[in-house]
Amino acid sequence: MRRRTFLTGLGALGTMGLVGCGSSKSDGEYVADPGSLQVYSAQHENLTKAWVEAFTAATGIKVQIRKGNDASMGHQIVAEGSASPADVFLTENSPAMTLVERNKLLAPLEEETRRQVPANLTPSSKAWTAIAARSTVLVYNPSKLPKADLPKSLMDLAAPEWKDRWGCAPGGADFQAIVAGMLAGQGEQKTKDWLGGLKTNARALQNNIATMKSVNAGELPCGVIYHYYWYRDQAGTKEGSGNTALHYFRNQDPGAFVSLSGGAVLAGSKKPAEARKFLAYVTSKAGQQVLVDSQSMEYAVGTGVTSTPALPPLNTLQAPPVDPFTLNSDKVTTLMTDAGIL
Amino acid sequence: MPASSDLRVDAVIRYDEPTAAVPVVRSTRTPWYVMLAAILLAALVVAPVLVVFGQATSAGSAEASRLLFRPRTAELLRNTLLLVALTVPVTVLLGCGAAWLVERTTLPGPGIWRTLLLTPLAIPAFVSSYAWTSMLPSVQGLGGAVFVTALAYYPFVFLPVAALLRALDQGHLDAARSLGLTGLGAMLRVVVPLQRPAVAGGALLVALHLLAEFGVLQMMQYPTFTTAILQQFAVGFSNAAGSLLAAVLVVLCLGFLVVEVPLRGHARIARLGPGSGQRPVAHRLGAWTVPALAALAALVGLAVMVPAAIVVRWLARAISSGAVEAGPLLAATGSSIGLSVLAGLAATLAALPGAWLLHRYPSRLAAVLERVTYVASALPGVVIGLALVTLAVQWARPVYQTAALAVTAYTVLFLPRAMVAWRSGLAAAPTELIEASRSLGVSGLGTFARVVLPLVLPSALTGFVLVFLATVTELTATLLLAPTGTETLATAFWSASDELDYVASAPYAAAMIALSAPLTLLLRRQILDQR
């Protein structure tokens, strides 16, 4: 009897092993296919897939996506150095891109590709280009915070009267990009003071969605997020945003910061021609239309392409003028660490 | 390998120790390959700790002390210790109370309760935390964290205490009573001291799990060292700030390990005289039967039934709204099973040299090697994960972002489970058989393969299953080490629940519970084996 139980166990073990090995090979770990263009993407999965499918359909060039998030993928490319299999890097926010750029791992961008995007949406270094944009907004619950009491500036939220009255997701790359924008526009001292105010006043939530839902549930009067989380929820069930409205700071306020998602070709690319073609496609009219149709609710940045009509036009947001190249993610991390937020 | 010399030594030692119940076969000559393998594995297990400390001080001592001695560290320390100080007593109370009711009273249906009280182990803490927050968003902060973790972890106390209570000899109590102690006095003077090692061991396990906990605390928005380390990793990769926090966590962990030793106590209570121990007399509950049943039902209800029901409810919603995508779910199940099988095999194999060494060639070095394994494995997954990332990126680039690195982490983390299983298995393989085999001229390795292995394989299989199950629900090391693009059930569940998408998380939660459920039955045997 005991022997039989044991043998059954062994049999089960063998089967599990076979199933396990089989499936871990099929989906499993990343092995760069030498026949495909390697796109390291921290952008939303759906949008990246939509771009890749349309690009492959248009050019016949095969693409393999490696999915990650801004900070860790940026650091990963730096860690992999010139041996990185990456040909193209796509980010959600620009600080991850400038991290790679400062390590001199990006190839210069072609003139034609750069010209597909308005000059104010490309960095002075010309090493990468915007592929999409997102705006900072204040999501608020009008029943807890009447419109008349809304803050005039993001900087106001550091004042004592805002204690325990707002939330944000300071651990994420999204919010760190906003702080990087503030650092570039307002300087180190003001940013430091503001982060001190954040530490005392704000509730730290795990991400933008949790922030929005807390405001929606009335747990917090308002929160700092990016616009597209709200518009996506509104386009869907409104479950997480039905009780809320958006406030745009405008007036070149740090709270009107528009963050650029970046795209670049890596200097170590083994397929530079195809990589450049991919970026040219993503920023082209057709590529930007793919973004609009993907319902990601991000802003299109290509000239001559209109973003989803639900969004207020990008040029009406009065974003502060910031050269995305000057956004320094390491400095932001240090400041936030010093403020006791990280 | 000349066998005769070994045997001569064995024979001498055996005559020297006529009272030993199980003759211990000692040898002056330990096979070098076994020793080498055991030492290499112990080194592998210790390496992460050294790496973390190295990385923490890499930025220089001035920078290190700036990063270390700041209010944030104090805040995290306070949060972490407060959580431990509140949760551990609750789990001790719940675990001991439940164990006493089940093993020492006339409670109806003790067999069913024994199983039911262990079922929380089948529900990963971060899954029950998800269940509670999805229904009651106010379950949050310190209160919510204590509530969820106490319910999830009390079995760590219940299990050893119940096992010891079951093995309790009524003779001890009768002797105490005959010497004039009251019932309560006998309990305090006899039962409680006997339980000290079980309670201390269980409480230590709870404390170590609390130090390592990530999912629950992130959902409860209650920052501790582990959550802060993962946050630092997300923004700064394996930087000095994250490694410093990890170093503090290591120190805390070692501190708990040290504190547990005196708490365990040195009291040894032995039976003198002939005969076997008597089964303990059960306390009559009488009118207290109904309240006792209600209390246990409430405990199991809150710890298991409610979270499971909520998961099922979300799952039903996911199925009815067509939100369950078979492709990703199967892929995640596949990579979870694949990684867990590899981890199970790796840990089982890795534990063998050390266990074999202790069994056949006990020495001080062997004992130290074993202890080292335990200490390093008490460290949180996040520390091991962070260390292996650093190690791979700086010195072993080709293994970075491979499944092999993740499997290495699981091996380091779960080695003791396999070790314990091997040791109980080897204890069951009588040395006489080994000697007989050796005397017939079979080599050491041959004897192992043909005599020992068939006898101990069932235990090894238990070890394999324990590691397998632990890997299925491992979250923090997996988040750091799983190759990009590989989703396991735990990480897929996490990315959906992190966005508060309760419906999309449900299938992954249900799959983890389904895979973990057999653990309960396996552990139940451990209590029953005590008699």
Mean pLDDT of B497-523: 86
pLDDT digits (tens, 9 = 90+) for A148-172: 999 999 999 999 999 999 999 998 8
Read off the pLDDT of each residue in B278-299 and give the average, rounded to a whole number: 89
CATH superfamily of B323-530: MetI-like (1.10.3720.10)
B46-268+286-304 and B323-530: identical CATH topology: yes
How far apart (Å, rounded) are the C-alpha atoms in residues A29 and B484? Answer: 7
pLDDT attached to residue B238: 57
- Write out the two tokens for B9: 């030594």
pLDDT tens digits, residue range A264-302? 999 999 999 999 999 999 999 999 999 999 888 999 999
Task: Using CB atoms, pick whichever of B241, B341, B393 lies closest to residue A79.
Answer: B393
What single string gives the DSSP state of each residue in B403-468?
Answer: HHHHHHHHHHHHHHHHHHHHHHHHHTS-HHHHHHHHHTT--HHHHIIIIIHHHHHHHHHHHHHHHH
ipTM tops the 0.85 cut:
no
Instruction: Name the A residues in 4-43 with CB < 8 Å from any B CB.
Output: 5-6, 9-10, 13, 16-17, 19-30
Cα angle: B280, vertex B285, B290; to 5 degrees: 140
Interface mutation vs chain A, best among B73, B76, B484, B522, most A CBs within 10 Å: B484
Check: CB of residue B176 under 8 Å from CB of residue B185: yes
Residue ranges covered by each domain of chain A = 37-132+260-311, 134-257+331-338
Question: Do A24 and B334 count as a contact with CB atoms less than 8 A apart?
Answer: yes
Residues of A in contact with B334 (CB under 8 A): 19-20, 22-24, 26-27
Angle between helices B32-56 and B240-264 (to 10 degrees): 120
Distance CA A40, CA A60 (A): 19
User: What's the rounded Cα separation, in Å, for the pair B247 and A86?
Assistant: 33
Question: What Å distances lie between residue A23 and A130, B11, B347, B523, CA to CA?
Answer: 38, 52, 21, 29
What pLDDT, on the 0 to 100 scale, is given for residue B355?
87
Q: What is the pLDDT of residue B497?
A: 87
**Residue A111 at interface with chain B, using a CB cutoff of 8 Å:** no
Considering only CA atoms, which of B458, B457, B35, B473 is closest in space to residue B212?
B473
> What is the pLDDT, as a whole number, of residue B266?
67
Q: B307-329: per-residue pLDDT in tens?
A: 999 999 999 999 998 878 888 99
Mean pLDDT, residues B358-374: 82
* The two three-digit tokens of residue B248, written as one number: 């503090």
- What is the spatial distance between Cα B512 and Cα B308, in angstroms, rounded to a whole number? 11
CB contact under 8 A, B237 and A71: yes
Quick one: average pLDDT of B178-207? 86
pLDDT tens digits, residue range B19-50? 334 444 555 577 888 888 889 888 888 888 88
User: Which one-letter amino acid corresponds to residue B7?
Assistant: L
B357 neighbors B38 (Cβ within 8 angstroms): yes
Q: What is the DSSP letter of B54?
A: H
pLDDT over 70, % of chain B: 90
Residue B107 has φ and ψ, to the nearest 5°, of -55, 130
In this complex, the residue of B219, B345, B484 whose CB is nearest that of residue A66 is B484
Are A264 and A283 in contact, with CB atoms under 8 Å apart?
no
Give the number of beta-carbon pairs within 8 Å between A and B.
Answer: 141
pLDDT digits (tens, 9 = 90+) for A305-336: 999 999 999 989 999 988 887 787 788 988 99
Chain A residues within 8 A of B345 when measuring between CB atoms: 17
Nearest to A28 among B335, B341, B397 (CB): B335
Give the whole-angstrom CA distance, residue B407 versus residue B341: 9
Neighbours of B20 (CB within 10 A): 10
Neighbouring CB atoms inside 10 A of A312's CB total 15
CATH topology of domain A134-257+331-338: D-Maltodextrin-Binding Protein; domain 2 (3.40.190)
In this structure, whether the domain defined by A37-132+260-311 belongs to CATH 3.40.50.1370 is answered with no
Torsion angle, CA of A227/A233/A238/A244, rounded to 10 degrees?
Answer: -20
Residue B338 has pLDDT above 60, yes or no: yes
B342, HSE (Cβ side, Cα atoms, 13 Å): 20
CB-CB under 8 Å, B338 with A21: yes
Position A17 scores a pLDDT of: 41
Minimal CA separation from A213 to chain B, in Å = 9
pLDDT of residue B171 exceeding 90, the answer is: no
Binding site of A for Fe cation, by residue number, is: 44, 92, 228-229
End-to-end CA distance of chain B: 41
The span from the CA of B144 to the CA of A46, in Å, is: 35
- Cα A242 to its chain centre, rounded Å, is 24
Give the phi and the psi of residue B29 in degrees, each rounded to 5. Answer: -115, 100
Angle subtended by helix axes B71-104 and B240-264, to nearest 10: 40
Contact A185/A149 with Cβ under 8 angstroms? Answer: no
Which pLDDT band holds residue B505 (cuts at 50, 70, 90)?
A: very high
Residue A29 and residue B402: Cβ atoms within 8 Å? yes
Report the alpha-carbon distance of residue A203 to residue B39 in Å, rounded: 48
Q: Report whether B27 contacts B9 (CB < 8 A).
A: yes
Fold of B46-268+286-304: MetI-like fold (1.10.3720)
A342: chain B residues, CB-CB within 8 Å: 72, 228, 231-232, 235, 241
Q: Please provide the DSSP assignment of B105-146 as one string.
A: B--S-HHHHHHHHHGGGGS-HHHHHHHHHHH-TT--HHHHHH
Mutate: best of A10, A23, A215, partner B, most B CBs <10 A: A23
What is the Cα–Cα distance from B214 to B194, expressed in whole angstroms?
A: 34
B248 versus B263: which is more confidently predicted?
Answer: B248
Distance (Å) from the alpha carbon of B398 to chain A's nearest alpha carbon: 10
Q: What is the pLDDT of residues B417-441, one digit of tens each?
A: 888 888 878 877 777 788 888 888 8
For residue B147, what are its two tokens?
């509530």
Q: Report chain A residues whose CB lies below 8 A from the CB of B141.
A: none
CA B256 to chain centre: 15
Mean pLDDT score of chain B: 84
Contact between A203 and B221 using a beta-carbon 8 Å cutoff:
yes
DSSP string, A193-259: HHHHHHHHHEEE-SSHHHHHHHHHTTSSSEEEEEHHHHHHHHHTT-TTTTT-EEE---TT-GGG-EE
B88: which residues sit within 8 A by CB, 6+ positions away?
B203, B206, B207, B210
CA B210 to chain centre: 12
Q: Cα–Cα distance between A254 and A265 in angstroms, integer?
A: 30
Report which of residues B386 and B200 the model is more confident about.
B200
165-184 of A, contacting B, C-beta below 8 A = 171-173, 176
Residues of A in contact with B479 (CB under 8 A): none
**Cβ(A288)–Cβ(A302) below 8 Å:** yes
Q: What is the pLDDT of residue B30?
A: 78
Enter the pTM of the model.
0.83
The alpha-helical segments, DSSP class H, found in chain A are 2-23, 45-59, 70-80, 94-102, 111-115, 173-186, 188-201, 208-216, 227-235, 272-283, 285-293, 329-338
The pLDDT value recorded for residue B468 is 92
Question: In which residue are the tokens 């003779």 written?
Answer: B171
| B75, B484, B486 member nearest A340 (Cβ) | B75
Instruction: Sketch the domain layout of chain B as residue ranges.
Output: 46-268+286-304, 323-530
Higher pLDDT, B187 or A188: A188
Strand partners, A223: A139, A167
A247 within 8 A of A140, measured Cβ to Cβ: yes
Phi, psi of A298 (to 5 degrees): -85, 160
Whether A2 and chain B come into contact, CB under 8 Å, resolves to yes
Q: Is A82 on the interface with B (CB under 8 A)?
A: no
pLDDT tens digit sequence for A233-273 = 999 889 889 999 999 999 999 999 999 999 999 999 999 99
* Nearest CA distance, A214 vs chain B (angstrom): 9
* DSSP-derived 3-state class of residue B334: helix
For residue B464, the SS3 value is helix
Looking at residue B362, its pLDDT comes to 81
At B239, the pLDDT band (50, 70, 90 cuts) reads confident
